[in-house]
Amino acid sequence: MVSENESPGCVSNTADSALGGVSLVNLKMGCFKLDPVSRTGKRMYLLQMIILPFIPIAALIVQNSCTMVSVTLANRDAIAINRQISVSVIVVELLTALQYERGEVAYYIFTNGNSFEEALMEITWYNLANEYMLNHLAQIIRDTSVTRVWRLLIAYKNILCALENFSIATVYGLYYFGRGKLGLENFANFVRYDSLAQDYLVATQRLLLVILEEYNNFQLNFEHFRNISLRRLEIYSNVLRKPDIAVAEEYYSTMTLFLEELIRYQKKIHLLISEQMYWDIGYAHNQQAVAIVILVMVLTISPIIIIFVRNATHTIQSVAVAAVGRVPTFHSRDPGSISGLGCKT
- The pLDDT tens digits for 7-31 are 444 444 444 444 444 444 444 444 4
Round to whole Å and give the CA distance between 188 and 176: 13
Q: Find the range with the poorest average confidence among 33-47, 290-304, 321-335.
A: 321-335
Of residues 122 and 305, the one with the higher pLDDT is 305
Q: Could you tell me if 176 and 235 are in contact, meaning their C-beta atoms sit under 8 angstroms apart?
A: yes
Pick 153 or 162 by higher pLDDT. Answer: 162
pLDDT confidence of residue 321: 67
Q: How many CB atoms lie within 10 A of CB 258?
A: 17
Is 276 part of a structural domain of the chain?
yes
Q: pLDDT category, 226, cuts 50, 70, 90?
A: confident
Residues with Cβ within 8 Å of residue 231, at least 6 apart in sequence: 173, 177, 251, 254
Domain assignment of residue 158, yes or no: yes
Least confident of 66-80, 176-190, 231-245, 258-272: 66-80
Residue 124 lies in a domain: yes
What pLDDT is recorded for position 4?
A: 44
Q: Calculate mean pLDDT across residues 236-243.
A: 89
Confidence (pLDDT) at 294: 83
Lowest mean pLDDT among 83-87, 160-164, 331-335: 331-335
11 domain-assigned? no
pLDDT band at 212 (very low <50, low <70, confident <90, very high): very high
pLDDT > 70: percent of the chain = 75
- Whether pLDDT at 276 is above 80: yes
Q: What total of structural domains would you count in the chain?
A: 1
Q: What's the confidence (pLDDT) of residue 191?
A: 94
* Whether pLDDT at 6 is above 50: no
Residue 268 has pLDDT above 90, yes or no: yes
Q: 5 falls in which pLDDT band (50, 70, 90)?
A: very low
**Residue 270: CB partners within 8 Å, gap ≥ 6?**
89, 92, 156
Question: Would the pLDDT of 174 be above 80?
Answer: yes
User: Domain span at residue 119?
Assistant: 82-287
**Structural domain includes residue 105:** yes
Q: Which is more confidently placed, 325 or 205?
A: 205
- Is residue 331 situated within a structural domain? no
pLDDT of residue 190: 92
188 pLDDT exceeds 90? yes
- Predicted local distance difference test score (pLDDT) of residue 11: 43
In a domain, 36, yes or no: no
Residue 296 lies in a domain: no
Asked if pLDDT for residue 343 goes beyond 50, the answer is no
User: Rounded to an integer, what distance in angstroms lies between the CA atom of residue 295 and that of residue 229?
Assistant: 63
pLDDT at 1: 43
Least confident of 187-201, 210-224, 284-298: 284-298
What pLDDT does 116 receive? 62
